[in-house]
C-alpha cells in the first residue's frame, strides 16, 4: 500500500521461506514477480540465520571454483553454526511449561527430590542433543541437512588444499576423523597432505573447538543411554556418527528395529512392485511410488506404470480427435468451468463410443478408454477396498489448455481446492456430505497422460484449503488415487503453457450409482463386430436377401437401448 515494492517482496519471501506450503503467500509471490518494479534481488530472506547466510554464500563461491573467496565464508559458517548450537543449548535449562502444568493439575507420579532432579537433567540433555538438528534445519524445512558439521569440515579441508593451505587442510581432515575415525576419504586426504608437507609438523592436530564439541556430546550421549537402559527413558540420537560402543548391548537390537521402522528422513524409498504391498498380481510393471505417509495424509497413493507411452499417445489422440469433432466438455457445455484462462475439453466414455461408431475417432482409442478405466478401478479396489467391491461412478477424459495471451497477471488455479464427495468449508475445516456434492463417491483417481506442459501439478491441502501438504507432478501412466472425502482436499495449479490431459475417475461402493454409460459404451463398441458376424451368417443362409447396411449414424434396433430411449450423455462434474 505504501508502494514500497522492494520491502514488500522481501517480506513476502521471508514469510514464504518459513512457510513454504502457504498457498496464499505462494500466489502473492507470483504476483510480485510479474510486477515491473520488483527486481530479482528483492526476493531476499530478512531473517536468514547468520550460519545459513555464510554457508550458502560459501557453497556458491565453491561452485564457481573460487576456493580462496569461499574459505572465509565457510569458516564463518562453521563458527556461526557452533555459536547457534551454544545459543540453543542455553535455552534448554530452566523449567518446562508442560511440566509445571502437570504439577498444577496433580498429574503424573509423585516422585521424590532425586527423581525430580534426574528427570529434569535428562530432559536438559535430550534438549541439548536436539540442538544440532535444529541448527542443521533450514527455516521452513522439516528435516535437517545430514551430517551438517562434518560436511562443513570436509569442504573446509578440500578448499584449504586447493589454495595450498596444507596445515589447515590437515587440521580439518583430522577433525572429520573425530566424527568418523574410519573415514577412508579423510584418511587418504590426510596421507596426501602429509606427503606434500614432507616432514611432520609438531603440535598439528584437530581443531580444538570441534574436539570440545565431540567430547562433550559423547559424554551427554553416555548419560542418556545409561538412563535409557536403567530408568526406562527415551532418546532418539540425532547423530549418525555416535560410536556403537556407546550404546549398551541390551539396547542395540531395539534401536536397530526402531531405525528400520522410522519414516525416511532425507530420500524417499525406492518404488516397490505392486505385489509387495498387496498379495495380488494385477499388472506387471506397476509400482507404488508414494503411500499416504509419504504424501502427508491418509487414504492417498501414487502409482506409476499403468500406461505405456504408446497407450498414452492413443488416448491423447482420442481426446484431440473428439475435440475437433465438436465433443462437449461434459460440464454443461462451458468452455472453461473453473477458469477463464484455460480451454477445457472433456470426453465421456459413451460420447467416445458414439464418435467411434460415427467414424470421428478411432475405435481403438474408445476401446482403450474403457479398458484403462477398468484397469484403474481394479487397482483402486485392490489397494483401498479389497474386501468391498468398488464400481465406476463416472469416467471423464479431460484436457486443459493454457490460452495464449491470457496468462499474464494470472492469480487463479486451474481447479480450485475442493473435496469430491462433500462441500468443503475452509473457514471451519468442516466438509459437509450433502448436495450439491456427489455424496455417493467414495474413491477418486487421476490417471495422467502427459507432462509436456507448464504448471498443472495436483496438490493436497489441509482442510483450510491454504496449507499445501503434498504435491504430485503428472506424467504418462501415473495414477493418483485417494478417498473422496474431506480428508483429501485437493486442487490443481494453473496450467500456464501447453495442454494437460488426464483421465479422471470416481468410484462408489453403491451399486445403484454405478456408471450406466460405461455399459452402454461397451455394448455400442461391440455392435460392429456382432453385425459383421451376423451378416456373414445371413449371407450364407439367404444369399438373395438385400445385404445393404444400416445408415452410418443409425443404431441397430436389436441393441438400441433396453429402455427404448435414445442414448444420453450425462453431464456431471
Share of the chain above pLDDT 90, in %: 49
Mean pLDDT (the chain) is 81
Q: What is the pLDDT of residue 271?
A: 44
In a domain, 52, yes or no: no
Residue 16's domain comprises: 5-47
| Ramachandran angles phi, psi of 397, nearest 5° | -85, 115
- Give the C-alpha separation, 463 to 134, whole Å: 28
Q: Say how many C-beta atoms besides its own lie within 10 A of residue 312's C-beta.
A: 21
Q: Go through the chain and tell me how many residues it has.
A: 573
The 10 Å Cβ neighbour count of residue 163 is 14
Q: Is residue 531 part of a domain?
A: no
Say yes or no: 195 and 343 in one domain.
Answer: no
Are the CB atoms for 526 and 453 separated by under 8 Å? no
Q: CA angle, corner 143, sides to 21 and 50, nearest 5?
A: 90
pLDDT for residue 482:
97
Cell numbers linked to 440: 455417493
**Grid cell for residue 55:** 554457508
The strand pairing partners of 432, in sequence order, are 423
Which of 497, 518, 539 is at the close of a domain? 518
Check: pTM over 0.75? Answer yes or no: no
pLDDT band at 98 (very low <50, low <70, confident <90, very high): very low
In a domain, 486, yes or no: yes
Q: Measure Cα distances from 472 to 301, 352, 417, 468 in Å.
A: 10, 28, 15, 11
155 and 37 assigned to the same domain: no
Q: Are residues 133 and 18 in the same domain?
A: no
The rounded distance, in Å, linking the Cα atoms of 370 and 392 is 11
43 located within any domain? yes
- Asked if residue 109 lies in contact with residue 173, where contact means CB atoms within 8 angstroms, the answer is no
With cut-offs at 50, 70 and 90, classify the pLDDT of residue 234.
confident
Residue 564 has pLDDT above 50, yes or no: no
- 3-17, 176-190, 373-387, 495-509 — which is least confidently predicted? 3-17
396 is written with which cell numbers? 471423464
**Closest to 347 (Cα-Cα) out of 200, 361, 359, 357:** 361
Q: In this predicted structure, which of 144-148, 209-213, 300-304, 513-517 has the lowest mean pLDDT?
A: 144-148
Indicate the number of domains in the chain: 3
- Higher-pLDDT residue of 559, 404: 404
Residue 554 has pLDDT above 50, yes or no: no
296 and 233, same structural domain? no
Report which DSSP code applies to 146: T
Contact 205, 177 (CB under 8 A): no
319 belongs to a structural domain = yes
Q: Which residue has the higher pLDDT, 15 or 564?
A: 15
User: Tell me, what's the pLDDT at 529?
Assistant: 57
If residue 41 lies in a helix (H) or strand (E), which one and from where to where? Answer: none
pLDDT of res. 119: 85
The pLDDT of residue 562 is above 50 = no
CB 373 within 8 A of CB 505: yes
For the chain, the helix, strand and coil percentages under 3-state DSSP, each to the nearest 5: 45, 15, 40
Among 468, 488, 518, the domain-final residue is 518
CA distance 499 to 292: 28
Question: Exposed, middle or buried, 484 (CB in 10 Å: 0-12/13-18/19+)?
Answer: buried
Residue 293 placed within a domain? yes
Whole-number pLDDT of residue 43: 82
Q: What is the dihedral of CA 458, 463, 464, 467, to 10 degrees?
A: -50
**In a shared domain, residues 364 and 474:** yes
Torsion of CA 479, 485, 486, 492, to 10 degrees: 30
Element at 451 (helix H, strand E) = none
**Residue, of 538 and 325, whose pLDDT is higher:** 325
Residue 141 lies in a domain: yes
As given in the structure block, the three cell numbers for residue 466 are 491454504
Q: Which residues pair with 503 in a beta bridge?
A: 397, 447
d(CA 530, CA 252): 69
If asked whether residues 224 and 303 sit together in one domain, one would say no
Task: Please give the distance of CA 463 from its chain centroid, rounded to a whole number.
Answer: 17
**Listed residues 189, 224, 246: the one ending a domain:** 246
Let me know the angle formed at the C-alpha of 512 by 506 and 517, rounded to the nearest 5 degrees. 60
Q: Averaged over 215-239, what is the pLDDT? A: 89
**pLDDT for 569 beyond 70:** no
Which three-class secondary structure string do you get for 399-448? Answer: EEEECCCCCCCCCCCCEEEECCCCEEECCCCEEECCCCCCCCCCEEEEEE
Return the SS3 of 397: strand
pLDDT in tens, 99-120: 444 433 333 445 678 888 888 8
> How far apart (Å, rounded) are the C-alpha atoms in residues 11 and 17?
10
Tens of pLDDT, residue by residue over 450-484, are 999 999 999 999 998 989 999 999 999 999 999 99
Same domain for 240 and 295, yes or no, is no
Strands, E assignment, 221-280: 272-273
Q: How far apart are CA 56 and CA 295, in angstroms?
A: 29
Known catalytic residues? 500
| Distance of alpha carbon 365 from alpha carbon 362, whole angstroms | 5
Q: Do 157 and 176 meet the contact criterion of CB atoms below 8 Å apart? A: yes
Same domain, 229 and 329: no
The answer on 301 and 449 residing in a single domain is yes
In this predicted structure, what is the pLDDT of residue 567?
A: 36
Spatial separation of the C-alpha atoms in residues 409 and 341, rounded to whole Å: 11
Q: Which of 111, 98, 118, 112 is nearest to 233 (CA)?
A: 118
Q: What is the DSSP string of 358-388?
A: TTSS-HHHHHHHHHHHHHHHHHHHHHH-TTS
321 and 216 within one domain: no
Give the CATH number of the domain where residue 295 resides.
2.60.120.620
The total of other beta-carbon atoms located within 10 Å of residue 218's CB is 15
A 10 A CB-CB count for 314 gives 20
Position 257 scores a pLDDT of: 59
Residue 385 has what pLDDT? 87
* pLDDT (average), residues 64-90: 94
Is 566 a member of any domain? no
- Is residue 26 located within the same domain as residue 123? no
Looking at the fold, whether 173 and 314 belong to one and the same domain comes out as: no
Amino acid at each position: 500500500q505504501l508502494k514500497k515494492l522492494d520491502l514488500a517482496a522481501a517480506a513476502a519471501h521471508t514469510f514464504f521461506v518459513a512457510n513454504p506450503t502457504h498457498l496464499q503467500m505462494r500466489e502473492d509471490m507470483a504476483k510480485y514477480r510479474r510486477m515491473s518494479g520488483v527486481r530479482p534481488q528483492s526476493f531476499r530472506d530478512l531473517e536468514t540465520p547468520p550460519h545459513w547466510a555464510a554457508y550458502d554464500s560459501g557453497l556458491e563461491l565453491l561452485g564457481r571454483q573460487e576456493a580462496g573467496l569461499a574459505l572465509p565464508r565457510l569458516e564463518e559458517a562453521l563458527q556461526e553454526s557452533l555459536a547457534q548450537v551454544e545459543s540453543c543449548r542455553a535455552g534448554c535449562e530452566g523449567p518446562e511449561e508442560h511440566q509445571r502444568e502437570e504439577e498444577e493439575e496433580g498429574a503424573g507420579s509423585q516422585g521424590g527430590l532425586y527423581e525430580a532432579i534426574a528427570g529434569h537433567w535428562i530432559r536438559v540433555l535430550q534438549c541439548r542433543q536436539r540442538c544440532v538438528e535444529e541448527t542443521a534445519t533450514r527455516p521452513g524445512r522439516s528435516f535437517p541437512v545430514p551430517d551438517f558439521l562434518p560436511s562443513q569440515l570436509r569442504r573446509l579441508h578440500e578448499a584449504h588444499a586447493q589454495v595450498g593451505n596444507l596445515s589447515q587442510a590437515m587440521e580439518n581432515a583430522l577433525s572429520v576423523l573425530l566424527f568418523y575415525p574410519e573415514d577412508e576419504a579423510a584418511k587418504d586426504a590426510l596421507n596426501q597432505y602429509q606427503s606434500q608437507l614432507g616432514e611432520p609438523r609438531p603440535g598439528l592436530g584437530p581443531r580444538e573447538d570441534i574436539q570440545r564439541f565431540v567430547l562433550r556430546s559423547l559424554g551427554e550421549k553416555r548419560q542418556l543411554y545409561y538412563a535409557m537402559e536403567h530408568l526406562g527413558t527415551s532418546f532418539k540420537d540425532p547423530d549418525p556418527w555416535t560410536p556403537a560402543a556407546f550404546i549398551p548391548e541390551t539396547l542395540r537390537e531395539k534401536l536397530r528395529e526402531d531405525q528400520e521402522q522410522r519414516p525416511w528422513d532425507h530420500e524417499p524409498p525406492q518404488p516397490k512392485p505392486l505385489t509387495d504391498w498387496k498379495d495380488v498380481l494385477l499388472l506387471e510393471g506397476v509400482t507404488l511410488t508414494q503411500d499416504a505417509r509419504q504424501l502427508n495424509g491418509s487414504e492417498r497413493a501414487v502409482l506409476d506404470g499403468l500406461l505405456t507411452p504408446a497407450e498414452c499417445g492413443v488416448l491423447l489422440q482420442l481426446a484431440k480427435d473428439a475435440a475437433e469433432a465438436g465433443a462437449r466438455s461434459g460440464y454443461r457445455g462451458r468452455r472453461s468451468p473453473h477458469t477463464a484462462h484455460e480451454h477445457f475439453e472433456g470426453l465421456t466414455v459413451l460420447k467416445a463410443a458414439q464418435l467411434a461408431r460415427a467414424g470421428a475417432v478411432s475405435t481403438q482409442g474408445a476401446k482403450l478408454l474403457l479398458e484403462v478405466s477398468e484397469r484403474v478401478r481394479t487397482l483402486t479396489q485392490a489397494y483401498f477396498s479389497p474386501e468391498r467391491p468398488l464400481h465406476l461412478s463416472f469416467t471423464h477424459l479431460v484436457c486443459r489448455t493454457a490460452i495464449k495471451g491470457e496468462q499474464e497477471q494470472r492469480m487463479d488455479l486451474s481447479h480450485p481446492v475442493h473435496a469430491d464427495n462433500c462441500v468443503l468449508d475452509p473457514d471451519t475445516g468442516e466438509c459437509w456430505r450433502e448436495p450439491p456434492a456427489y455424496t455417493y463417491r467414495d474413491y477418486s483417481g487421476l490417471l495422467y497422460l502427459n507432462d509436456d506442459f507448464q504448471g498443472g501439478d495436483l496438490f493436497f491441502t489441509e482442510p483450510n484449503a491454504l496449507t499445501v501438504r503434498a504435491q504430485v507432478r503428472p506424467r504418462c501412466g501415473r495414477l493418483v488415487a485417494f478417498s473422496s472425502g474431506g480428508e483429501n482436499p485437493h486442487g490443481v495449479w494453473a496450467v500456464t503453457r501447453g495442454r494437460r490431459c488426464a483421465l479422471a475417475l470416481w468410484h462408489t461402493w453403491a451399486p445403484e450409482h454405478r456408471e450406466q454409460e460405461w455399459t452402454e459404451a461397451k455394448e455400442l463398441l461391440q455392435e460392429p463386430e456382432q453385425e459383421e458376424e451376423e451378416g456373414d451368417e445371413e449371407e450364407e443362409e439367404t444369399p438373395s436377401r438385400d445385404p445393404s447396411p444400416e445408415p452410418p449414424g443409425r443404431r441397430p434396433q436389436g441393441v438400441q437401448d433396453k429402455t427404448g430411449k435414445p442414448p444420453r450423455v450425462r453431464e456431471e462434474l
